[in-house]
Structure 1
Amino acid sequence: MNLETPALIIEEGQVRRNIAKMAGIAAACGVALRPHAKTHKLPEIARLQIGAGSKGITTAKLAEAEIMAEQGIDDIFIAYPIVTEAKLERLATLSRRINVIAGVDSLEGATAMNETALRRGVPLQVRLEVDLGFGRTGVPYDHALELAAAIAKLEGLQFRGIYTFRGFFMNGAPTLELEAAGLEEGRLMVELAERMRAAGLEVRDVSVGSTPTAEYAARVPGVTEVRPGTYVYYDRMQAVLGSCTLDECAAAVRVTVVSRPEPGRLVVDGGSKTFATDVGPGAPPLHLIGYGHILEEPDAVLERVSEEHGMVRVPEASPLRVGDVLHIIPNHICSTVNLHSRVYLQDGGQMRELPVAARGAIT
């Protein structure tokens, strides 16, 4: 295939190995695996995950779930509060077609959802999101029992349990102590579930675990499900965290050197429209250098990006020249995928193009 750059290349064999690895971890721990599809946004990859043993998938937005359902994925958890009338109507319609669970984190949101469920005659399944210190959505841990009890009384809703997203955070800050963070995440959620059950609530789901913590949180007795996402491709951030090796990273952006204006600097044809910049250089605890790892020149640094240009610092003796092709593992693959309308799956000498079906599905 005569491939123009920049282009996002996915090594299909490595994807399959990554899928099998996480499926094995979940099976060994006796927990369900419900991977987050926000990383790949591809129904084909979701089907590979389900074929390897995943219970279903997780999405961030309702639109992602709708796209996946259109392609035959029939068990989806939407890990995001759905509160507007139009979206609640869409949720009710989707719930007639497939098994779908939605996230809630407020009584106002749950009440609106309950009104839609009763009006449409469609019971809606919900999980309560709990904030363990990440500071995003989620009810504060100490208020979760009270809110769960109120939600469980709403006649149109079926309260399924609790979930959290904590990432590699512990004690309110990023950490490289992934095992400790994962075990604490699982323990806190199981203890909360036990208090809810003691108060008379039925808690079937205790869902935890991102890519860096899933294998550890899954070990905690009482955890029922883990929801890693990035593991399917991995990225430079996960490699620095220790979740994987660079060799396990299945995705790289192929770029071309378009300029070498001086010996220590060259320019590639991928900038902020090509590489995600949400995980940038320098921030603790990762202290990443640049916006990606350049496979052909590990000592080079993608140190600055504008929309269409990537400025790379190279050793002055580097043999790279205009027209050379490079492959760069991005810092954060999830946001990078969302910048590309298509990806190229490579398997040995074969390459095929796939549209990123759920790209930009933000509603």
Structure 2
Amino acid sequence: MQSFSRWERAMRLSATTRGIPVVDGLATEEIGNQSWQPAHGDLGLPALTLDEAAFAANRDLFLRWCSGAGVAIAPHAKTPMSPELARSLREAGAWGTTVANIQQAAVLLAHGERRLLLANEIGGLAAGRRLGALLSAYPDVEFYAFADSPAAVASLAQAAHLSGRSDISVLVELGAGRAGARDRVAVEAVIAAVLAAKGLMLGGVATYEGAVATPDADETARAIAKLMARTIEAFALVRNAAAGRPLVLSAGGSAYFDVVATALAPVAQRDGNASVVLRSGALFFADHGIYARAFAEVDRRGGLVIDGVRRSAAESFRPALTLWAEVLSRPEAGLAICGFGMRDASFDQGLPVPLRVFRDGVEQRGLARTLTVTRLNDQHAFVALPTDSPLTVGDIIAFGISHPCTCLDRWRVIYGLDAGGTVTRALTTQFG
């Protein structure tokens, strides 16, 4: 058999599975035993890595905060679409798992998740038939779904009928700026439709406060407060129609979880038979952009109180994702071209940020601070730098990203890294 060096083995990439090193006789499960380090050029670049310790620290931090705040968490699986990470969050204490559509539900159900919150309307009757076929294969799943109209309820009723279920929980969605019932009349219509449908039951209310956010912090605070008031009013209507039944109040993305908990946790506590379920997903990864700014705003609102101690969100949550790329060209003074682009990195909430530079596995300290990503092509990043910069072709740069959701969905595998920068495992993602 032909012999390959560690570098040669890592570079033999599959032509059909992006980013997964395929070596004769080497299974994906064995990748964590190869001692690969992206800083040493052991991986085909670009590559996306997960700091295992940072992810675990973010998980434990947020679960502790949730416990103290009187809320539960069903992390949104759409962020990484990794069954392994979803399972790890549930096993650490998450209430369940959130998905955005039927396809994502199918992936998570196939991998053993049995309490799902589908945080969206599913569509029309054809979607109801697809959901019914799916649920019929998993009769033990505890299933919740959003509805903001009688038409949405009809689709869920179709799913209940085809799956033979009598216990699909419907959360009446309140909304502004996105989906969701807009007024009391619409809420009452959804409640009436659920009560009249076979196979469905009222499960509570839901909303998404991020849809009303604006660049102005004070305006955002007023808009979220108004939405929370509408959500609480809708909850009272659902409670009147579902006396004695355990109910869910669900809200909370990764930017305003503290505001949601402050507004809704007292309502659930007074009710005595309700749970607040947040759906935050991206905060477990944090980042160097949009969520770094969001955590600074959490601090401006008072920070995190855990076990009676106030902590800084911006200092406590740690960015867990790193994009690694190589310098391909120094075509002119003041410019470097790196081997990644819009196909590899998020850019909707800010461009990647250079963090560290390595040459032959040795960090070039201070060099990253002189670099700025200015724009992206499909597979090229344009990096501005001083005209006398020592950055050279072959240098490997570690970049921080902004917005985990729109970065992770570009990858079919991400690599876990230990504290020393060595690959611990390959985590496959399952985006549709």
Deviations 1:268-317 (A, max 9, x none): 111011012333xxxxxxxx5xx122113245322211111111122334
The TM-score normalised by the length of structure 2 is 0.74
Equivalent residue, structure 2, for 1:358: 430
Letter in 2 for 1:127: L
Deviation at 1:354, TM superposition (A): 2.3
Change over 3 Å in CA distance of 1:33–1:184 after alignment to 2: farther
Equivalent residue, structure 1, for 2:286: 234
Deviations 1:306-332 (A, max 9, x none): 111111122334332211111112221
Equivalent residue, structure 2, for 1:292: 352
Deviation at 1:52, TM superposition (A): 2.2
Matches within 5 A, 1:1-363: 1=36, 2-83=42-123, 84-123=127-166, 124-131=168-175, 133=176, 135-142=177-184, 143-167=186-210, 169-170=212-213, 173-176=214-217, 185-198=227-240, 204-220=247-263, 221-222=266-267, 224-235=276-287, 236-241=289-294, 242=296, 244-245=313-314, 248-279=318-349, 288=350, 291-296=351-356, 297-349=368-420, 350-359=422-431, 361=432
- Does structure 2 retain, via aligned residues, the 8 Å contact 1:186–1:218? no
3-state SS of 1:167 partner:
helix
Residue segments in structure 1 that go unaligned for 5+ positions in a row: 280-287
Deviation at 1:209, TM superposition (A): 0.6
Change over 3 Å in CA distance of 1:8–1:273 after alignment to 2: same
Residue segments in structure 2 that go unaligned for 5+ positions in a row: 1-35, 37-41, 269-275, 299-312, 357-367
3-state SS of 2:424 partner:
strand
3-state SS of 2:76 partner:
coil
| Structure holding more helix per residue | 2
Deviations 1:191-214 (A, max 9, x none): 321244346676711101111111
3-state SS of 2:374 partner:
strand
Change over 3 Å in CA distance of 1:168–1:245 after alignment to 2: farther
3-state SS of 1:80 partner:
coil
Change over 3 Å in CA distance of 1:233–1:119 after alignment to 2: closer
> Following the alignment from structure 2 to structure 1, what is the Cα–Cα distance between the partners of residues 385 and 246?
55
Change over 3 Å in CA distance of 1:93–1:25 after alignment to 2: same
Q: Which moved more, 1:219-228 or 1:55-64?
A: 219-228
Number of equivalences? 346
Deviations 1:162-204 (A, max 9, x none): 111122734xx34445777666554442232124434667671
Change over 3 Å in CA distance of 1:144–1:95 after alignment to 2: farther
Change over 3 Å in CA distance of 1:251–1:157 after alignment to 2: same
3-state SS of 1:266 partner:
strand
Equivalent residue, structure 1, for 2:31: none
> Following the alignment from structure 1 to structure 2, what is the Cα–Cα distance between the partners of residues 88 and 250?
34
Deviations 1:101-124 (A, max 9, x none): 122222112113213323442122
Percent identity among equivalent residues?
24
Letter in 1 for 2:267: G
Deviation at 1:9, TM superposition (A): 0.9
Letter in 1 for 2:355: L
Q: Which moved more, 1:228-237 or 1:242-251?
A: 242-251
3-state SS of 2:146 partner:
strand
Deviation at 1:239, TM superposition (A): 0.5
> Following the alignment from structure 2 to structure 1, what is the Cα–Cα distance between the partners of residues 390 and 208?
44
- Larger Rg over CA atoms: 2
Q: Which moved more, 1:200-209 or 1:52-61?
A: 200-209
- Does structure 1 retain, via aligned residues, the 8 Å contact 2:370–2:385? yes
Letter in 2 for 1:30: G
